[in-house]
Amino acid sequence: MITRLLLAMPFLTVAVLLLLALGALLFKRNLIKMLMGLSLMESAVNLFLVAIGYRQDGVAPIFTNVPQTLMVLPTVQALTLTAIVIGVATSAMMLSFAMVIYKKYGTVDVRNIRKLNG
Amino acid sequence: MRTALFTAILLILLAGFLQVAVGLPFGKPARTDMDDYFLAHAQDQAAANNVVTSVVFDFRGFDTLGEATVLFTAVLGVGMMFRKLKPGEEYEHD
Amino acid sequence: MNMTKIVRTTADLFYPFCLVFGLYVVLHGHLTPGGGFQGGAVMATGAALLLVSRRYEDITRSLRQNTMKLCEAVGLLMFITAGLAGLFAGGAFLYNGLAGAGGLFGEPVAFGANPGGLNTAGLIPLLNIAVGIEVLGGLTVILLYMLSGVKETEP
């Protein structure tokens, strides 16, 4: 049982990270902290993708001077690369929104910016 | 009230996540047909040593084009938000 | 805001090394870990180093926003042009016709472990360079825009 738990450790980390991210999104009222939660969720998904493509005793899928040909799966790593770049783009967008909201309302608390004032 | 509800939701999700996490096998991926094909043919079809780069730029090159477009669009959006204000136009709090 | 002379000198010193390392990561993307996105991010790190150490008005004299926007657009256009060239040469968008054909980036690669040659992989290094230019321009423009929105205070 304990061996099984230790072997599943990356997925446990993913579960804990997802929980923390959801908690930050649900309980925090500060926009910047909510964005940190979103970033955490993105990291959890990246870790999940990399961990699900791991093959026991595999090496990185690069053939330059490689000692063996048993390699981990390359497709999930490519998907992770895509996810990281898109995460950077969306993070930049959301942080810019937060900056503009702070300029307009003078606060980043979501309770105070909920009202529509034109 | 809301805090209790959210905590309950989070606990239920935690139970589900933990069940899935313990059940997933680590180190033994279930289906590897496509990845084995990429590993076997990246060097004769794309002539690249780095299989990840050959997947990103050759086998899934159209995906990468979309990714580059997303980055471009994000830069356009950031530029739209930080545009120069017209004379007389002001933010309320500055 | 303007930082102290120590920070400014160190940033100036490390800026060319950041650029060269990023260029190395981009150019060796088909041989070693790395590629266009990672190398472009490393190069943009050099620009960020300059940005945090100086005042915004000082930095825009050497790191122009229009140049970086041009970099971004040129990178994306290079990518699309390379894809269209594959369309005309081989009948499919992004067709890797240069791989194994001799000529530019055209050496074939044997299966298995090998020391790796720079002149391989066909279209992939060209796309790496295009994406590297685009990411360098894009991230630097994002940083410049965000810094232009920050109200600066002098200590």
Task: Read off the pLDDT of residues A25-58 as tens digits, 9 standing for 90 and up.
Answer: 888 888 899 999 999 999 999 999 988 888 888 8
What is the DSSP secondary structure assignment for residue A57, as one 8-state letter? T
Each of the 118 residues of chain A gets a pLDDT tens digit; together they read: 666 666 667 888 888 888 899 988 888 888 899 999 999 999 999 999 988 888 888 888 888 878 887 888 888 999 999 999 899 899 999 999 898 888 888 888 888 877 665 5
Structure token pair of residue C11: 């940033």
What is the DSSP secondary structure assignment for residue C112, as one 8-state letter? S
Give the chain B residue whose CA is nearest to the CA of C147: B82
Which pLDDT belongs to residue C151? 67
Instruction: Provide the sign of the torsion angle of the four alpha carbons B74, C45, C147, A32, taken in this order.
Output: positive
Residue ranges per structural domain of chain B: 49-83
Judge contact between B64 and A82, C-beta under 8 A: yes
Q: What does the alpha-carbon distance between residue C69 and residue B74 come to, in Å, rounded to a whole number?
A: 13
CB contact set of A93 (below 8 Å; sequence gap of 6+):
B74, B77, B78
Structure token pair of residue C105: 């980036």
Give the chain B residue whose CA is nearest to the CA of C115: B49
Contact across the interface for A64 and C35, Cβ inside 8 Å: no
pLDDT > 80? residue C17: yes
Subunits adjacent to chain B (3 or more Cβ pairs under 8 Å)? A, C
Residue A74's nearest CA partner among B32, C25, C129 is B32
Three-state secondary-structure class, residue C1? coil
Which pLDDT belongs to residue B34? 87
Which ipTM value was assigned to this complex? 0.82
User: What value, to the nearest 5°, has the Cα angle with vertex B20 and ends B17 and B24?
Assistant: 140
CA distance to partner chain A, nearest, from residue C58 (Å): 23
Structural domain total, chain C: 1
Residue B80's nearest CA partner among C61, A100, C131 is A100
Subunits adjacent to chain A (3 or more Cβ pairs under 8 Å)? B, C
Q: Kindly state whether residue C155 falls inside one of the protein's structural domains.
A: no
Domains of chain A: 2-105 (1.10.287)
Q: Kindly state whether residue C24 falls inside one of the protein's structural domains.
A: yes
Q: Kindly state whether residue C153 falls inside one of the protein's structural domains.
A: no
